A and B are shown apart, each in its own frame.
Chain A
Amino acid sequence: MHEILIEEKILARNDEIAAENRLALSSRGIYSVNLVSSPGAGKTSLIESMTQHLKDLAVSFAVVEGDLEGDFDAKRVESRGVPALQITTGRACHLDAHQICHSLPWVYGHEGLELLIIENVGNMVCPAEYDLGEDAMITIMSTAEGDDKPLKYPAIFSASELLVINKTDLAPYTDFDIKKARENALKVNPYLKIFETSCRTGDGIKEFAGYLAALTKSKMK
Chain B
Amino acid sequence: MIQIKGLTKQYGLTTVLRGVNLHVREGEFVTLVGSNGAGKSTLLRIVATLLKPSGGEVTIGGWPLPSHAHNVRRHIGLVSHHALLYGDMTAAENLMFFARLYGIDNREEVVSTALKRVGLTARRRDAVRTFSRGMVQRLTIARATLHEPDVLLLDEPFTGLDQDASALLNRLLLREHEIGRTILLITHDLIRGISLSDRVAILNRGKIVHTVTRDDISATEFVTLYQQVVHGDHVAELPG
| A interacts with B | no
Interface residues of B (CB under 8 A from A): none
